[in-house]
Chain A
């Protein structure tokens, strides 16, 4: 079983990111369980989304406290909160950032990967310049970095599940996928 925690801010599509990832993984026969932080979300405030992935039915309905990996959708959160709370040793921290992995200082038990999803989202005019919607680009990078599923499964999931600009979202996810490097 693999557990991933997403960090974002309300309004960025973080919860949708975990749902798209779940859709893509389910297409390859995986068992998935995705859920948002239980409670109230506010635009701009830190939000969380979680996903469990396994090759057998997932009976654990409790919350995820010790994720294997984390995804930081909003880079300002790295300064604002501790995104490594509960993160297992060896965990990968995937950050949406224009900086290099070496520019981030975390405990040495973790690895960092960066992807400039904001740039990609702006390029394909996803969301607005002020609040680009980066979730499809982020998921494109996540499936490559964590070696989770084929790009084709994600493309299919976006085509079926993203109502606004599906083809541009697919281009964004594909570009992020191609730019990212596998770490697992």
Chain B
């Protein structure tokens, strides 16, 4: 059924179709509508789930950790300060190998109080052991929730579905909402290998001495390394059932491209408008949108970028004292494999708009310079 829905509600419908059993959340702009709709679905019994109201995001994640340990499929959504307040529990969820799925609306962190799009909230959680999926449109948001449960429950790794504040969260687009029976056929119920039950008592998350802790972390990393392959497998299966492929990246016009943009989120969609326009002028440009940021799909990125003559990475984030974060990852992916010049641009912090013209400026700069003049090239900073 096709329906015009906002990005926030695409998350809600995704969770509903995944038949989540426990939802716990605390409201925060620009996320609130995600859990508002889910609470309505719970109240009307459109969704048979427990909705646990809590006093903070820290408690929301704590509640889901308990529910997930008991074997329930769990969901929450948050943004910016809500996510950073959860930080400690993100480690608990991943370290506990609990396949929790959450939506995060990319919003800037204060101060300057700002509710607009910026990736620093989720990227500052990159080392917590969660998978991270950055979405470019509302359809992808809904589809990603369903795929994320499939991958998460197979590998016992939690997943974050990430969308830009307002340019997705509050933007209405046509979304094909699949039939429940089709989703059921793709995503079977969650049956964890171990769970908290009075019939068979276990202890979880207890004291772990240096004799064992190291191996637990080794296993989490080994599971992470399997993610790109499982994304490919589940993404192809999704395509067979629903007609939409869900891969680690979206490669657009890259095959013969001299210059390849590396982008993420909604900017990765807008970039395609600039690519189309410049291709009409005869410039061979392409766009590689990174959908899966954690684990970073090194081999796939390498595969697409190593033939390019130049690479321009566009970051809506910054690691202070370092560079744009996708820029760091891209350099790391190509190190030792290619000597292609990599340009790192920072644009759009705190919701400053990223337009097709922004990409034209970036492409112009990259074509007109042999190598970048600095590690960070700032786009649109007012002097």
| Count of B interface residues, CB-CB < 8 Å | 29
Is B4 in contact with A34, judged by CB distance below 8 angstroms?
Answer: yes
Q: Which of A83-122 contact B (CB under 8 A)?
A: none
Q: Which of B24-47 contact A (CB under 8 A)?
A: none
Is B353 in contact with A22, judged by CB distance below 8 angstroms?
Answer: no
Is B4 in contact with A61, judged by CB distance below 8 angstroms?
Answer: no
Give per-residue flags for B259-278: 1 if the beta carbon is below 8 A from chain A beta carbons, else 0. 00000001101101100000
Is B174 in contact with A26, judged by CB distance below 8 angstroms?
Answer: yes
Is B116 in contact with A22, judged by CB distance below 8 angstroms?
Answer: no
Is B166 in contact with A32, judged by CB distance below 8 angstroms?
Answer: no
Chain B nearest CB: distance from A59 CB in Å? 4
Is B270 in contact with A32, judged by CB distance below 8 angstroms?
Answer: no
Determine the residue in chain B with the shortest Cβ distance to A30.
B174
Chain A nearest CB: distance from B231 CB in Å? 23
Chain B nearest CB: distance from A169 CB in Å? 17
Q: Does A5 contact B (CB under 8 A)?
A: no
Chain B nearest CB: distance from A15 CB in Å? 9
With contacts A31-B174, A36-B170 taken as known, whether A62 is within 8 angstroms of B270 at the C-beta atoms is yes
Residue of B166, B172, B354, B358 most packed against chain A (CB within 10 A): B172
Determine the residue in chain A with the shortest Cβ distance to B267.
A61
Chain B nearest CB: distance from A175 CB in Å? 25
Is B166 in contact with A38, judged by CB distance below 8 angstroms?
Answer: yes
What is the CA–CA distance of A161 and B137 in the complex, to the nearest angstrom? 22
What is the CA–CA distance of A49 and B270 in the complex, to the nearest angstrom? 20
- 22 of the cross-chain contacts (CB-CB < 8 Å) are A26-B2, A26-B3, A26-B174, A31-B174, A32-B172, A33-B171, A33-B173, A34-B4, A35-B166, A35-B167, A35-B170, A35-B171, A35-B172, A36-B170, A38-B165, A38-B170, A39-B116, A40-B115, A59-B269, A60-B269, A61-B164, A62-B355
Extra pairs beyond A36-B170, A61-B267 (9, CB < 8 Å)? A33-B173, A34-B171, A35-B166, A38-B351, A59-B269, A61-B136, A61-B171, A62-B353, A63-B355
List the interface of chain B (C-beta within 8 A of A): 2-4, 115-116, 136-137, 164-168, 170-174, 266-267, 269-270, 272-273, 351, 353-356, 358
> What are the nearest 9 A-B pairs in CB distance?
A61-B266, A62-B355, A38-B166, A35-B171, A34-B172, A59-B272, A59-B269, A61-B167, A60-B273
